[in-house]
Copies of this chain bind each other. A is one copy, B any other.
Amino acid sequence: MEKVNSTKVFIVDDHQLVIDGIQALLKDESDYTIVGTSQKATEVLDRMYDLNVDILITDINMPEMSGIVLTKQIKLRYPGIKILALSMFGDRHVIKEMIEAGINGYILKNTGKVELMEALEKVSKGQCFFSDEVTKVLVRSFKKEEEFSHLTNREIEIIRLIEQELSNKQIANALFISERTVETHRKNIFRKTGTQSVVGLLKYAYEHKLI
């Protein structure tokens, strides 16, 4: 199993089955050796110390510590480790944050073995790899670049107050502005986020981590 020139891979995912799955997929690939796995992002940092890991495959949505935080920590303490993000979703903001955190690749869990191998190969060579869907999001994002959904600070502040169950009047009092102003902000918020109700807005806010 251990091979001198093989790439050392470490897997972090809170779903053991995904870990086992990837492990099974890579078992026969002598180019890759899995040197460790973990269900908790929090314990990964210390385990990196003596393993000489080449590629860290990490889930993004994990309890306790997200893949984003983990990536930042890893890149800070072990800049040599390449990171391949593995996620259920191709959310624009998450992708953006992960890229800013310094990932080398981003694949979705609905991709298969072939793409995983391709991703590992590219990443191990120092190149980048993104799933088609992720690339699509990137391109779209690049084209419109915030154009339609750039919420101002004031708007985000108001979304948070809405989430606190304040009515327009209460928000107006809290911020020392007129109720009319709050109404205008709400209108702009709905327009920018493409939502039409508080419910939709809050789902948007949760998704985009505004709250």
A-side residues, CB < 8 A to B, are 14-22, 24-25, 27, 39, 86, 88, 108-113, 116, 162-163, 165, 196-200, 202
Return chain B residues, CB-CB under 8 Å to A165: 196-197, 199-200
Nearest chain B CB to A40 CB, angstrom units: 11
Q: Is the interface of A mostly helix, strand, loop or mixed?
A: helix
Q: Which residue of B lies closest to A86 (CB)?
A: B17
Query: What are 23 A-B pairs with beta-carbon distances under 8 A?
Result: A15-B88, A15-B109, A15-B110, A16-B110, A17-B18, A17-B21, A17-B86, A17-B110, A17-B111, A17-B113, A18-B18, A18-B109, A19-B112, A20-B21, A20-B116, A21-B22, A21-B24, A21-B25, A24-B25, A39-B110, A165-B197, A198-B198, A199-B199
Could you tell me the distance between the alpha carbons of A112 and B108 in the complex, rounded to whole angstroms? 20
Q: Does B199 lie within 8 Å of A20, measured CB to CB? A: no
Give the interface centre of A24, A162, A163 by most chain B CB atoms within 10 Å: A24
Q: Does B113 lie within 8 Å of A20, measured CB to CB? A: yes
Q: Which residue of B lies closest to A109 (CB)?
A: B15
Could you tell me the distance between the alpha carbons of A157 and B21 in the complex, rounded to whole angstroms? 36
Return chain B residues, CB-CB under 8 Å to A86: 17
Q: Which residue of B lies closest to A206 (CB)?
A: B206
Return chain B residues, CB-CB under 8 Å to A163: 199
Return chain B residues, CB-CB under 8 Å to A199: 162-163, 165, 198-199, 202
Could you tell me the distance between the alpha carbons of A123 and B86 in the complex, rounded to whole angstroms? 31
Return chain B residues, CB-CB under 8 Å to A197: 165
Return chain B residues, CB-CB under 8 Å to A18: 17-18, 21, 109
